[in-house]
């Protein structure tokens, strides 16, 4: 039987951060993970560059049934704290846009920084370790493919169901239910939309086209690019709004929101009445977009041939349109999982389950989901750090 003062299940961002935080206070920590490599999700994040935090982290950047839960940890371990760690490790970084901070090197650099810190602090990381049984007597007893373990402090940092091809499962939620905790309804978040058959036909041929847009749904709006795909609509703006969408809801897209195309067309009609309408629109939209949005309208006439109402209607086709997604591309393409362990049953200070002494939940397994742009990593760093420190304090 292997005994450890702290066992963390999950060698991802939150789990590694928790291990570091506890080990810094002198605790012996063991991290168990079923994967053959630590931090796989870190490696693929940000297109392989790791969008490791955001300069403008606020509680409003997070979705949760309890919107106040995240405030304590985010205040106690801020983006500036993690940036300081990156700087201390000598890793160059840059702001891409909207406060999104990326490693100048590959994501491997951020992961290596964490693993090197674990090694320095003596953290044991056991990979290829499948948990086959878990019970609580005085301490927690874990049966695993690498032998049995016992610990008074068990941290669940398993993430959730996004990226199942990388081994993601609902293991953490099952553990929560085993010990009597409730789990808020889960669904894919930060995920592309799919079109129905009619829209697929209309937008056929637009795959790969990206447009600066404002996208709205259920009172929320985001301004970034949208990207047409073979299956539907993706891009940063779409991923953001998907976390607020429910089946049957209408999504409204305003393309090139700073452009008043109708007004521009009317002005050109006065100053250059013989100019062909299509040539004005081509200055703003790719030709493939013209074919998809106005396949049934003749755009190849001089501007003087169109009424103002016609110009307005044509402009609206390009700039403001709505659709009801047939669904999403699911967990396979989702960046995160919405929902999770009910935070009302977790201490926002220590991350310990209120009714199960010594059991902790951190990171994505909880019902806390950040916007796109480094916010979910910051939640992993903050929740992991605060949990590790709380365990150390309790162990004194």
Domain ranges across the chain: 2-189+335-395, 192-329
Quote the pLDDT of residue 167.
Answer: 84
Upper half-sphere CA count for residue 258 (Cβ side, 13 Å): 5
Q: Give pLDDT, residue 166.
A: 81
Q: What is the CATH number of domain 2-189+335-395?
A: 3.50.50.60
Predicted pLDDT of residue 271: 96
**10-residue averages of pLDDT along the chain (396 residues):** 95 98 98 96 90 98 98 98 98 95 95 98 98 97 97 97 88 98 97 95 94 97 97 98 97 97 96 96 94 91 95 95 96 96 98 98 98 98 98 93
Query: What pLDDT is attached to residue 181?
Result: 98
According to the model, what pLDDT value does residue 359 have? Answer: 98
The CA-CA-CA angle for residues 393, 73, 111, to 5°, reads 90
Q: Report pLDDT for 162.
A: 92
Predicted confidence at residue 163, as pLDDT, reads: 86
- Interatomic CA distance for residues 175 and 264, integer angstroms: 59
> 192-329 sits in which CATH class?
mainly beta
């Amino acid at each position: 039987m292997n005994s450890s003062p702290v066992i963390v299940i999950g060698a991802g961002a939150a789990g590694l951060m928790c291990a570091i935080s506890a080990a810094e206070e002198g605790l012996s920590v063991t991290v168990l993970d079923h994967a053959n490599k630590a931090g796989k999700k870190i490696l693929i994040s940000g297109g392989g560059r790791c969008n490791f935090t955001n300069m403008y982290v606020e509680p409003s950047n997070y979705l949760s049934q309890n919107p106040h839960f995240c405030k304590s940890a985010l205040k106690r371990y801020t983006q500036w704290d993690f940036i300081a760690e990156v700087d201390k490790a000598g890793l160059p970084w840059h702001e891409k846009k909207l406060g999104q901070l990326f490693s100048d090197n590959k994501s491997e650099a951020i992961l290596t920084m964490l693993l090197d810190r674990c090694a320095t602090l003596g953290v044991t990381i056991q990979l290829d370790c499948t948990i086959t049984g878990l019970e609580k007597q005085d301490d927690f007893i874990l049966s695993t493919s690498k032998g049995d373990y016992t610990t008074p402090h068990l941290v669940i940092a398993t993430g959730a169901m996004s990226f199942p091809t990388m081994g993601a499962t609902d293991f953490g939620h099952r553990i929560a239910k085993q010990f009597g905790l409730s789990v808020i309804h889960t669904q894919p978040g930060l995920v592309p939309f799919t079109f129905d058959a009619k829209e697929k036909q209309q937008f056929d041929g637009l795959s790969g086209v990206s447009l600066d847009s404002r996208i709205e749904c259920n009172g929320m709006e985001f301004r970034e690019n949208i990207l047409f795909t073979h299956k539907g609509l993706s891009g940063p703006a779409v991923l953001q709004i998907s976390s607020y969408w429910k089946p049957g809801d209408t999504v409204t897209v305003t393309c090139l929101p700073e452009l008043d195309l109708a007004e521009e067309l009317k002005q050109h009609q006065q100053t250059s009445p013989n100019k062909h309408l299509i040539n004005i629109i081509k200055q703003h939209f790719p030709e493939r977009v013209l074919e998809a949005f106005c396949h049934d309208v003749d755009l190849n006439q001089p501007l003087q041939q169109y009424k103002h109402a016609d110009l307005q209607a044509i402009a609206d086709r390009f700039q403001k349109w709505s659709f009801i997604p047939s669904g999403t591309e699911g967990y396979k393409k989702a960046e995160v999982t919405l929902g999770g362990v009910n935070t009302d049953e977790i201490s926002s200070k220590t991350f310990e389950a209120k009714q199960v002494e010594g059991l902790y939940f951190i990171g994505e397994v909880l019902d806390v989901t950040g916007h796109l742009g480094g916010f979910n990593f910051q939640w992993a760093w903050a929740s992991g750090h605060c949990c590790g420190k709380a365990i150390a304090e309790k162990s004194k």
